[in-house]
Structure 1
Amino acid sequence: MNPVPFRSVKSAGPVRVQIDWSTVRKYATRAAVVAAAAPVAAAAAVMGLERVRRQQYPLDSPFPTAPPASTEVDDTTATVYTYGADLYAAMLDAIRSARHQVFLETYIWKDDEVGREFKQALADAADRGVEVFVVYDGFANLVVPRTFYDLPRGVHVLRFPAFRPGLLMLDVRRSGRDHRKILVVDDEISFVGGYNIGELYATKWRDTHVRLVGPSTWELRNAFIDIWNRWRTPDLPMLQDVGSPLWLPRLRAARNAPSELVFPIRGIYLDSIDRACSHVYITQAYFIPDEDIQAALLAAAARGVDVRVLVPERSNHVVADWLARGHYATLLRGGVRIFLYQGAMIHAKTATIDGRWTTVGTANIDRLSLTGNYEINLEVVDDGLAGQLEAAFRMDESNSRELTLEEWQRRHPLTKIAERVMSPLRPLL
């Protein structure tokens, strides 16, 4: 029989309570283990169920697409891509036309037909004397053989560390990834957005990228040089920035650098949502807003703004889906409309507000992206680009269904329990 942690001790005076601290510690430890294990066990269970479900119902349904569309933002031409095959053709054409320099930074770079085509284009550019610099994330590509990244002499390759010290302490700021996707060619053409490099993304995922042609390419060039010089190893050359005579406040790159405690992307979202007077259209792959962003969306809806959030009904990260659903009741009760993308993965990270303000980039609205990863988002104040992103949003809406508060309240009680059990995992995502 286990001893009780508290027992009375007889004495001539008042009753004294003697505490068996070893027993208290034992029970406290057991409780902590259970509390920590419960959300992990629940996450493992839903991942197992989703694996079975995905075999029966894969995320491979066709979805609406639009051809690339361009608009002028002062002296820069901005082109929106909503289909991977179109984007890859433009990126490869830029690399194959490079005369002086190529900067490529990507989160995932798969060893498949598309990945090898990019690899060959970079090698060919180096062969004709172009300076080529590549950054890829080590952790995101652990399943890819390291030999795939053995590029020919003349291609400088930086592997962002696969494991960082903060991982052991679950410190996202010191363990986050290089989640950016950037291509800069000859200081004239640049690309940024949500697309990684691989066959899957070419035709099976819906995502958004932007190409810049003109002086605003400096925004992405400068971003690449900063991360290269911050993380390069001694055997890699230092890159020199050339500066920019152009000051274009209507088109800027916001760059999260967690190791340097720089987090502007969250700030641009909060500022722009607070300004909204007409409508807010947000598209996100993984939507787990913090208290301030959720409060800003609810405040906008309360003052009559049409707030819409479009997310995948099922994403490639089922745990993120469940954590996102923990916010649905509050958002729906507060007047925020939620649209669930059907049959395929939507991976875009975009927003447009009042037909004027737009952001396109790599950051999700979750803690990992906004405070942990290296991320980059363009912030553009331009009616033309906002109109294009609104057209893309309406296109995606046509492949979505709206989730109502009544439907959400009718979900199974076990679903509600699972959401609560897994909620402690939110700070990790």
Structure 2
Amino acid sequence: MRRPSPFTVDRLVTVLRRTLLAMFGIPIVLAIVMSLVDSYRRRGRRPKPFPTTRPRTIAVGDGELTTYTFGQDLYDDMIAAIEKAERQVLLETYIWKADAVGERFKRTLIAAAERGVDVYVIVDSFANLVVAPRFMQFPPSVKLLRFPVYPAGWRFFDFSRYGRDHRKILVVDDTVGFVGGYNIGSTYATEWRDTHLRITGPGVWDLERAFADFWNLNRRKRFRDSARPLLLETPSVWEPRIRFHRNVPRLWMFPIRSMYLEAIARATSNIYLTTAYFTPDQDFVDALKEAAGRGVDVRILVPLKSNHIVTDWISRGYFSQLLEAGVRIFRFSGAMIHAKAATVDGTWVTIGTANIDRLSLTFNYEINVEIIDEALAKVQEEIFELDSSNSLEMTRAEWEARDIHRKFTEFVLRPLRPLL
């Protein structure tokens, strides 16, 4: 058998290199340009007012669940809970802005630690690269775990160690917990529409264990602040209508995607899904299409314009097949909707930190609470209807009539789907 000549091998390598450049280099360059242009256009632009609901509280088992859709209401109750803390405060967040709201949280936490409360804080360093380093400095009384920008260490080959900590959790004194999509910052207090949940009763203990497990898995023994393990003694009491699902990349655990797929597969009446970023895998899309095909009223609510323009364009790449299958798509207008929530058949609800994208469902540390309760589902459906009233529905005719440059942009960005 003749061996290929060096010339032939060189040509193959050249063709392969150019092919890879065309497949990924061009989309990446286009994505960077689009992001820069969008950032320039947003300068000085203020979001428009949007409808919100007052906090709604529902009794579930031996506890209560309160839904928040306006950041200022949530922050006031979180601060009040910290100010009343007598024993322990556990706070975990992805983004923590060094603005008036961020300073308020920092002062309240330090004050709690100074009066003898055990205060533990987890913050993702990568998400806060633009925050002044001095803002993230706390007195020794506050136990701090900075999840590192590069968490893999010498194990650069271990992709399970690259996930970001995208969770937002607050637990106070074993009695009250908060979880949802809100980061900490003034923008989120009044300008973004998000969803968060306040929990009392046995569910708080599961949220507390979720925090402790992350702390103990990622604490860094060579540093003073996060070297100390967090040991808890919580009752082994289960609330059967409330379950927490945690994505843990280090352990290759990603149950949130499975939770969604099971709920979608069981749906017989309706699926109302709200997500900030919609870039799922094809199996997830197929599950929604199959539900619509069997007569389920499937509605997806996304931002008209999110804070990540490239994600918006990639998300639109799924619209054709969804609209053709009968799925209704609503685009929240005037402001950014950052909620991660869904309700199915008037009985099933999930609220949490995971978006419907590959980063959240198969890469990052995330946490979602799953609740089986008709009263809470009714509240969530009413919130979805209110959000829909501030949205533009994408019709099939409108989608098919989009101009050629939009279709071309969607096609060029398509190779980036697996990265978002």
| Fold equivalence (TM over 0.5) | yes
Q: Which residue of 2 aligns with 1:142?
A: 129
Equivalent of residue 211 in structure 1, options 186, 198, 217: 198
The worse-fitting range, judged by mean Cα deviation, of 164-173 and 206-215 is 164-173
* Residue 216 (structure 1) shift: 1.4
Match of 2:176? 189
- Residues 166 and 175 of structure 1 are in contact (CA less than 8 Å); yes or no, is this contact kept in structure 2? no
Aligned to 1:7: none
Q: Which runs of 4+ in 1 moved over 6 A?
A: 166-172
What is the one-letter code of the residue matched to 2:101? V
Q: Does 1:118 align with 2:105?
A: yes
Give the fraction of aligned pairs with identical amino acids, expressed as a percent.
50
Counterpart for residue 39 of structure 2: 51
Hey, what does 1:38 align to over in structure 2?
Answer: 26
- Distance in 1 (CA, whole Å) between partners of 2:299 and 2:10 is 54
Q: Which residue pairs with 1:334 in the alignment?
A: 325
My pick for the range that moved more, 256-265 or 166-175, is 166-175
| From 284, 289, 292, the counterpart of 2:275 | 284
Distance 1:59-1:166 versus aligned 2 partners, 3 A rule: farther
351, 360, 368: which one pairs with 1:360? 351
Q: Which of 355, 360, 380 does residue 389 from structure 1 map onto?
A: 380
Name the SS of the counterpart of 2:126 in structure 1: coil
Helix, strand or coil for the counterpart of 1:70?
strand
The superposition leaves residues 22-65 of structure 1 with CA deviations (integer Å, 9 ceiling, x where unpaired) of 23322332332232211112212322332243248x35100001
Q: How far off is 1:175 after superposition? A: 1.8
Q: 1:201 aligns with which of 154, 165, 188?
A: 188
Total equivalences in the alignment: 414
Q: CA separation in 2, counterparts of 1:309 and 1:408?
A: 15
What displacement does 1:169 show?
7.9
Structure 1 residues not aligned, in runs of 5+: 1-14
Correspondence for 1:10: none
* Matching residue of 1:220: 207
2:47 equivalent in structure 1: 60
Describe how 1:409-420 pairs up with structure 2 within 5 A.
409-420=400-411
TM-superposed CA distance for 1:16, in Å, is 11
Deviation at 1:105, TM superposition (A): 0.1
CA distance in 2, matches of 1:202, 1:257: 29
Structure 2 CA distance for aligned equivalents of residues 354 and 79 of structure 1 = 20
TM-score, normalising length from structure 2? 0.95
Q: Which has the larger radius of gyration?
A: 1
Q: Structure 1's 347 and 219: CA in aligned 2 closer, same or farther, altered over 3 A?
A: same
Helix, strand or coil: the match of 1:164?
Answer: coil
| Other-structure match for 1:253 | 244
Aligned equivalent of 1:3: none
Contact 2:23-2:415 at 8 Å conserved across structures: no
1:157 to 144, 147, 164: 144
**Equivalent position amino acid for 1:25 in 2:** V
Structure 2 portions without partners, runs of 5+: none
Task: List per-residue Cα deviations over 1:44-103 (Å, max 9, x = no partner).
Answer: 2322332243248x3510000111000011001100000000000000000000000000
TM-score by length of 1: 0.93
Q: What is residue 294 of structure 2 aligned with on the other side?
A: 303
SS of equivalent to 1:20: helix
Once the two structures are superposed, residues 372-394 of structure 1 have per-residue CA deviations (whole angstroms, 9 ceiling, x without a partner) of 00000000000111111111101
CA distance 1:167–1:364, shift in 2 (3 Å): farther
Q: Distance in 1 between matches of 2:19 and 2:154?
A: 24
Q: Which segment is superposed worse, 180-189 or 36-45?
A: 36-45
Shift of 1:291: 1.5
Conservation of the 8 A alpha-carbon contact between 1:172 and 1:368: no
Q: How far does residue 168 in structure 1 lie from its aligned partner after superposition?
A: 11
Distance in 2, matches of 1:172 and 1:53, equals 36
Deviations 1:212-233 (A, max 9, x none): 1122101110100000000111
TM-fit CA distance, 1:121: 0.3
Asked if the contact 2:346/2:377 (under 8 Å) is kept, the reply is yes
- Paired with 1:408 and 1:280, the residues of 2 have a C-alpha distance of 22
Structure 1: how far apart are the matches of 2:167 and 2:15? 45
Q: 1:16 to 1:237 in 2, by over 3 A?
A: closer
